[in-house]
Amino acid sequence: MSWHLYVLSFVFIIAGIFHFIRPKAFMRIMPLYIPYHKFWVYLSGATEILAGLGLFFSKTRSIALWGIIAMLIVFFPVHIHMILNKKAGLNLPKPVLYFRLFLQFGLIYWAYTYI
């Protein structure tokens, strides 16, 4: 396994852990039209951790990579909501919010290169 894949794994495991450490921050960035914020925050955190761990094993790597790609696509509305809603944007500067949105494309490409 290349070191790049270890980094990708680390990114998702750490992001997933933060869903459990700081769930309120993640609930605040979710669009209001999505119900059950706490449920989705914990589920997405657990999924990120499992996907990150799945990258370590050749038998689960492909499904983990497709899961990461799917999650990144599903998270697009959250990033758009953060741009459009000042409270959800966590007072981050607009350029940072736009960078985070476009970073999703880079992460999708990064994961796809290992499939």
Q: pLDDT of 55-108, one tens digit each?
A: 999 999 999 999 999 999 999 999 999 999 999 999 999 999 999 999 999 999
User: Any residues with CB less than 8 A from the CB of 55 and at least 6 apart, and which?
Assistant: 1, 5, 8, 9, 12, 61, 64, 65, 114
Residues spanned by the domain of 24: 3-112
Query: What's the pLDDT at 105?
Result: 96
Cα 69 to Cα 93: distance, rounded to the nearest angstrom: 26
**Number of domains present in the structure of the chain:** 1
pTM of the full structure = 0.92
Query: What's the pLDDT at 92?
Result: 94
pLDDT digits (tens, 9 = 90+) for 6-56: 999 999 999 999 999 999 999 999 999 999 999 999 999 999 999 999 999
